[in-house]
Amino acid sequence: TNGVITLDPGYKNTGSCQSAITFLDGEKGILRYRGYAIEELAEKADFLEVAYLLIFGELPNKEQLEKFHADIKSHSVVDDDVKKIIDAFPKSAHPMGVLSSLTSALTAFNPSSVNVDSEEEMYNAIVRILGKFPVLVAWTMRKKRGLPLEYGDDNLGYVENVLKMMFKSPNHDYVQNEVLVNALDKLLILHADHEQNCSTSTVRITGSSHAGLFVSLSAGISALWGPLHGGANQAVLEMLEAIKEDGGDTKKYMAKAKDKNDPFRLMGFGHRVYKNFDPRAKIIKVAADEVLSDLGVEDPILDIAKGLEKEALEDQYFVDRKLYPNVDFYSGIIYRAMGIPVEMFTVMFALGRLPGWIAQWREMRLRKEPIGRPRQLYTGETLRSFTPIEKR
Ligand code: SDX
């Protein structure tokens, strides 16, 4: 502190805003969306209902939900020129980079999504992106698999249609599988919002300059990509695979995670806010067992994950630092059982987080929050005069 500025790297002790959307209690491991417990919503609601709840503040009645879904479906076509942008990417492109580019590029085809000052204009931009984003998600996966960029079936539910667009292929049509639909619906609900995390803060600060909704979301997707944030769900599976290749030697990885000279961290563990179990991780761990047995999938990775969790929870280093499994620790095991490739895991996180980002952006704009512009403590040179190059 220099009397005026209080330094707080990573904003560990800074409240950036007041918000009525999501409540976390890190000590007790509590997560609520608009006052509803995540445990209840994961069991009783569906993803579109939760999206409506987060964005507008109340659970929708039947008419409201039907109108919301109809408005979204009326915008579920993506401009054909977007396919040319996707085609221009190398097949090796990471889907998160493709997704953030396409989300920003959508602005060019939806100019009305930029200057949104009225609630009406905001609503229009919101249903547009909720309609088009699942197509972008599915097309990034189809691009990776060399499948044609096609649509699903708008008569299906929101989540069913996402699965259809992701998995249908020329040589066999995708058959709806209730287990997969319910698993994805639950995962998307559990990822839907999480107050002022890194990517949501990025969406808010980008939107605070009154940049458009789509480009603010694109910035959030970029932030989510990092392995310390949403990218962790991919890093967890890569870590578990490495442990499996190593003969399941979790002790070696635990030692690496505690070695200050080793940058390796136990991916899927630890959290800035939760100093107790991440309530989402608890639900996903149970769901992983259910989904794998329902699908008849035997995955040794799940046993390695459980072994690693048990070891970490009994390890003093982890206990001292209150490191518990977070949302990313088990989610990838379900995505993999569903046939989703590992480089798509963080894209699935983004699909879930979309309504939360939208809700937080909308609250920030409706509350006319000031542009985000933190200060610093300057530690550089004091005043000095220019020296001509001949003298340097
Ligand atoms: C998400 O914020 C959100 O809400 C995010 C999220 C959401 O829904 O939006 O919940 C989603 O991003 C979950 C987190 C996914 N990331 C990972 O799983 C990556 C591994 N975890 C970490 O890198 C870390 O725990 C963070 C990034 C999650 C939190 O970092 P902090 O709060 O800045 O804590 P820190 O890095 O200061 O760590 C505190 C101590 C350090 O040790 P000391 O220097 O005190 O001795 O704990 C250690 C760290 O070295 N530590 C770990 C560790 N996480 C923290 N040591 C080994 N393995 C780990 N995973």
Which pLDDT tens digit goes with each residue over 300-322? 999 999 999 999 999 999 999 99
Residue minimizing CA distance to atom 40 of ligand 1: 321
Residues with CB under 6 A from ligand 1: 10, 194, 197, 228-230, 232, 257, 265-273, 321, 323, 326-328
State the pLDDT at residue 84: 97
Atom in ligand 1 nearest the alpha carbon of residue 268 = 18
Q: Give the sign of the dihedral formed by CA 301, CA 307, CA 313, CA 318.
A: negative
Residue minimizing CA distance to atom 43 of ligand 1: 321
Cβ-proximal residues to 91 (8 Å cutoff; 6+ apart), any chain: 143, 144, 146
CA 271–ligand 1 middle distance (angstroms) = 5
Q: Which of 323, 349, 360 to mutate to test the pocket of ligand 1 (most atoms within 8 A of CB)?
A: 323
0.90 exceeded by pTM? yes
Name the residue among 259, 249, 273 with its Cα closest to residue 196.
273
Residue minimizing CA distance to atom 23 of ligand 1: 228
Residue 81 has pLDDT above 90, yes or no: yes
- Residue 255: what residue type? A
Q: Would the ipTM clear 0.90, i.e. be above it?
A: yes
State the pLDDT at residue 3: 74
Residues 310, 307: Cα–Cα separation, whole Å: 5
